[in-house]
Amino acid sequence: MLIPLLILFLFIGYSHQSTYKICATEKVASTHTCQLLQKGNSQVECVRVVDSVDCALKLSSGDVDFGVFNAEEALVASKFINQDVSVIGQVKHRSKLSEPFAFQSVAVVRQNFTGEFDELRGKKYCHPGFNTNQYWTDRVLKEFERRVVPHACTSWVPQVRVEMFSLAEFFGNSCRPGPWASEQTFDEKLKKDFASMCQLCDNPHPTVCSYNSHDSGTHKEALDCLTQKDADVTYVALNYVQEYFGLNTIHKSSEELPSIPTAAAFHTDYKFLCPNKTVQPLDISEPCAWVRQPWNVVVARKSNDIASTLRDLLPQWLPDIQFRRDTISWQSVLYRIIQRQDIQYTFVPAARPLNSLVEYIGRGREIPTSPEIDPCRRPISWCTISPLEQQKCLWLQYAVLTHGIAPNLRCIQAPSKADCLRMIHEDQVDIVGIDSDLGYLARQPIYNASALLYQDSSSSGNYKTIAVVKDGQSLVKNFKSLQGKKACFSQYQSLAWISFLNVTKSLKLLPRRCGYAKAAGSFLSGACLPGLKTFNQTEPENLCYACKADECYGQGIPGNSYTGDYGALLCLSSGAGDVAFINYKNLLDSEGSLSLHKDFVNTFRVMCRNGSLSQSPGFDVDDACLLSAGVGGEIVTKKSRWNRDATQLLLKIDDCFGAFLNNDEGVLHVYEKFQNTGNLLFQSTTVSLLLPEDENYDSVNSYKALLKLETCSQAAAILSVHHTVLFVVLLLVTVRQIIL
C-alpha cells in the first residue's frame, strides 16, 4: 500500500511542478527576457517563434502550450487551428476594461441624411488615410467603401485603378490621404487622374495628398475635414468621435478628467450611419459600427485540459504590479510577455465555457471562410514546388484575404521550378519565385519569362560566381592558360557558365558570336557541363568528356554526381577537371554559413577575375576577385503579360509581411523560415522587393548586365550577315561607279 501512495504523491508533485511553454517573438521576448522567465521555481518557459503563424503551428503540433495573438493574427490563425485551441483570456487596456472591443470603426454623416447609401453620391468624403505605421489593415480602412460604393467590372484594368475610378465617380471632392498604390510613380499617376479624391486635403498635390499635421492622428484630422471643410461623411474610430465631440465622459473612470470637446460644430449636427442603412444620434450609448476589433487574446491548447488549467493558473501567476527592476520575478516577466511589453495592458481571464477562436473573433469581425470569388477579376496564382511551400502559400493567401489586400492570391503546386516556368508560359499560373541561377533559363523562348520584381537581399544573399583550382597542384595559373584544359561546371546556362563566357569573351579568348558552347568546346579540351545535351544534342561532345555518368543529359543526381556546385568541386577534386566554375552562394546553408567541411574547402584556391590566384586557400575572397555578383532571386512572370495587379499585390505583401514592419503586428514574416525551412516562396535573405525599372541598385544592374552579355539569337546572327552582305553590295556599287 505504501508504494502506490508514494507513486501517487510523486505524480501529484510532478503535476504541480509541470512547466508550460509560451511562444513569443524576438520583438516581445529577447533572449535575456526568456532567461529571466526561468528564474526560481518558474512554471513557464519561453519558446521563440518567428511570427504568429509559427506560434499557431507550434500550438497545433503541441510544441507550445499557449500564446498571445492580436486580432489580426488571431483572425488568420482561426482558419487553421480553431479546433486545437481555446480562448483563455483577453489583454485589455487598463483604462478600457469595460470596453468590449479594442476599437470600433464608425461612419459619421450630416444630420439630414436618412441612411440610404445613394444619398452619399456626389457628396464630400473624409478618410483618415493609409500608411504603413497604423494598426488598421486595408480590410478595416476600406470596409465602408466596400459596402457603400458600387465598383465597375473591368478585369483588364488594374484593380486599384478600378477602385479609385469607382470612388471618384461616386463621391464629390474628398480627402483620401496616403498611398493608394505601393508603387510610387503609379500612385502619383492615380492621384493626377483622380484628383478629386485629394481635393479636400490640406495639401491636394498628387505627390502629397495629405492632411497638414499628424500630431493628433489622422482620425482627428478627418473629423476636422468633416466639420471645417463642409464635408458630408467621414469614416473613423469611435473613440475619436466621442473625444472630438466631448461625448466620452460617461466612459471615463473616476480617476480621469473628462475630455474637452475640440469640434467646431455641435454633435447634434451629425449622426452615425449604420451598415443596415439606418442612422443613430452621436450620443447613443452603443453605436452601430462597421468593424469591431477584438482585444488581444491569450489562447491555449485544448489537449490534456491545458486550456482550462491555464485559464485558472494565469490569474494566480500574474501579479497586479508594475514591472520594476527591483521586483523581477518569473511571474512579472511572464506578465510583460503577455502585455507585449506595454504596461498599460492587463490580463482579463475568459468566462466559462471557453470559446474557440472563431467564436471570439466572430463577435466583431467578419471571418472569410475561403478566398472570395471576384467575378470581375481572377486571383494572382503563385506556383509552389513542395507541400511545405504550398502550406506557407496557403497561410499567406489567407493573410492577404483577411488584410483586405487585392487582388486575391491563389496557390498552385507543381513538381519543379521548370514545371512552374512551363505553366507560366502556358498561362496556367502567373508568378513564381526563382533563384538567379535560373534567370537565364527562364528567359529562353521555351519559357519566355521576365522579372516582375527582384528580391533585394543582404550581401550574403547575392550570387557570387568564382573560378576554383586545386591548391598547389594546378597547371592553370590564369584564364589564358585554360586553353586546352578541362573545366567543371555546375550546370549548363547557370550563372557560373555565363560568367565563364563573359570573362573569356572579355579577354578575347572566345569569339564574340553566337554558338558559345561550340566556341567553348574549341577552347577547352574537355569539360563536364551538366544538362548540355537536354537542350541541344548537337553541342560539342568534348564538353561532356569529364562527366562521371549521364550528367550532360540531365540524369545526374546532386550530391552523387558532378551536377551542381558541389558536384563541380567533386569533378575538380577527382582530377576530372583542371578548374571549376561555381556559384559560391549555393554552397551556403540557410544560416549563411559554408556547408562544406573546412579541410575539403582548403584543398582549393580561387582564381580571380584578373587571372591572379587568391592569397590563401578556401573561398573567402573579396569582391574584386569574383567573376560576377548580383541579386540572388527574382519573381518572374510571362514576358508578354503586363501584370500591374501582380506587382501591386507583391509590393503590398512586402509592406504588410516583409522585413520592415513598423507596427506591433507580426502575422507572417514571408522572408523568414517557415517550419524551420528557408527559401520558400522567397529567398530567405530577401529584405525587400525591387521594381525592374529601378536603376539605383548595383546588384540588380550587375545581374541584368550579365544576362544581357549572354543574350544571343539566330536573329542577331542573321542581322550580322545582312550587315555584311549590305557592306559588300555597297562596296560593289562604289567600285562600279568608279569604273564607270
Per-residue pLDDT tens for 641-679? 778 999 999 999 999 999 876 555 689 999 999 999 999
Instruction: Mark whether 665 and 624 lie in a shared domain.
Output: no
What residues pair up with 465 in beta bridges, in sequence order? Answer: 583, 628
pLDDT band at 691 (very low <50, low <70, confident <90, very high): very high
Predicted local confidence at residue 587, as pLDDT: 92
For 157-171, 199-213, 264-278, 502-516, which range has the lowest pLDDT when averaged over its residues? 502-516
Predicted local confidence at residue 248, as pLDDT: 72
Residues 435/633, Cβ–Cβ less than 8 Å: yes
pLDDT band at 12 (very low <50, low <70, confident <90, very high): very low
- The answer to whether residue 26 scores a pLDDT higher than 60 is yes
Predicted local confidence at residue 281, as pLDDT: 97
Average pLDDT over residues 100-129: 97
- The answer to whether residue 315 scores a pLDDT higher than 90 is yes
- The answer to whether residue 296 scores a pLDDT higher than 70 is yes
Instruction: Mark whether 338 and 299 lie in a shared domain.
Output: yes
Average pLDDT over residues 256-261: 52
- The answer to whether residue 69 scores a pLDDT higher than 50 is yes
CATH of the domain at 133: 3.40.190.10
Average pLDDT over residues 297-325: 86
Closest CA to 348 of 70, 93, 90, 102: 90
Predicted local confidence at residue 461, as pLDDT: 86
Instruction: Mark whether 675 and 593 lie in a shared domain.
Output: no
Mean pLDDT of the chain: 88
Distance, in Å, from the CA atom of 1 to the CA atom of 61, rounded to the nearest integer, reads 39
Give the chain's domain count.
4
What share of the chain in percent tops pLDDT 90? 73
Instruction: Mark whether 241 and 153 lie in a shared domain.
Output: yes
Q: Which of 578, 601, 630 is the last residue of a domain?
A: 630
Predicted local confidence at residue 737, as pLDDT: 35
Predicted local confidence at residue 83, as pLDDT: 95
- The answer to whether residue 4 scores a pLDDT higher than 80 is no
Q: 563 is in which domain, residue-wise?
A: 463-630
Instruction: Mark whether 178 and 260 lie in a shared domain.
Output: yes
What residues pair up with 299 in beta bridges, in sequence order? Answer: 67, 87
Instruction: Mark whether 596 and 641 lie in a shared domain.
Output: no
Inside any domain, residue 528: yes
Instruction: Mark whether 145 and 244 lie in a shared domain.
Output: yes
Distance, in Å, from the CA atom of 636 to the CA atom of 450, rounded to the nearest integer, reads 5
Per residue in 199-212, pLDDT tens? Answer: 999 999 999 999 98
Amino acid at site 41: N
For 18-32, 444-458, 471-485, which range has the lowest pLDDT when averaged over its residues? 471-485
Three-class HEC string of 565-630: HHHHHHHHHCCCCCEEEEEHHHHECCCCCECCCHHHHCCEEEECCCCCECCCCECCCCHHHCCEEE
Per residue in 209-222, pLDDT tens? Answer: 999 876 556 999 99
Distance of CA 256 to the CA centre of its chain: 42
**Matching residue, cell 468590449:** 100
Instruction: Mark whether 516 and 588 lie in a shared domain.
Output: yes
- The answer to whether residue 727 scores a pLDDT higher than 50 is no
Per residue in 556-582, pLDDT tens? Answer: 666 568 999 999 999 999 999 999 999
pLDDT band at 260 (very low <50, low <70, confident <90, very high): low
Predicted local confidence at residue 591, as pLDDT: 74
C-alpha cell at 423: 505553366
Instruction: Mark whether 488 and 602 lie in a shared domain.
Output: yes
Inside any domain, residue 305: yes
Residue 606 CB contacts under 8 Å (≥ 6 apart), including other chains: 466, 467, 468, 613, 614, 618, 619, 621, 625
End-to-end Cα separation, the chain, in angstroms: 131
Cβ count near 544 (within 10 Å): 20
Instruction: Mark whether 625 and 636 lie in a shared domain.
Output: no
Residues 231/200, Cβ–Cβ less than 8 Å: yes
23: helix, strand or coil: strand
